[in-house]
Amino acid sequence: MENKVLYCRWFIELTQCFYTKSVQYAKAIAEAIKTAFSPHNPFNNRNLASPLSIEELIGSLGISPGYGLEVFRKVYGISPRRYLSELKLHEAKELIQQPGLSLKEIASQLGYEELSNFSRQFKRWTNMSPLQYRRSLLLSPMHHRKFYEANGHPD
Q: How many domains does the chain have?
A: 1
What would the mean pLDDT of 86-105 be, rounded to a whole number?
Answer: 94
**What pLDDT score was predicted for residue 155?**
47
Estimate the crossing angle of helix 115-126 against helix 130-139, to 10 degrees: 60
Structure confidence by residue, pLDDT tens digits, 47-58: 554 566 899 999
DSSP string, the chain: -HHHHHHHHHHHHHHHHHHHHHHHHHHHHHHHHHHHH-TT-TT--S-TTSPP-HHHHHHHTTS-HHHHHHHHHHHHSS-HHHHHHHHHHHHHHHHHT-TTS-HHHHHHHTT-SSHHHHHHHHHHHHSS-HHHHHHHHHHSHHHHHHHHHHH----
**What pLDDT score was predicted for residue 138?**
82
What would the mean pLDDT of 99-123 be, rounded to a whole number?
Answer: 94
- pLDDT tops 80 at residue 75: yes
- Supply the CATH number for residue 147's domain: 1.10.10.60
Mean pLDDT score of the chain: 81
State the pTM of this model.
0.71
**What pLDDT score was predicted for residue 14?**
47
- pLDDT tops 60 at residue 45: no
Question: 142 or 30: which carries more pLDDT confidence?
Answer: 30
18-27, 59-68, 107-116: which has the minimum mean pLDDT? 18-27
**Structural domain boundaries enclosing 127:** 2-151
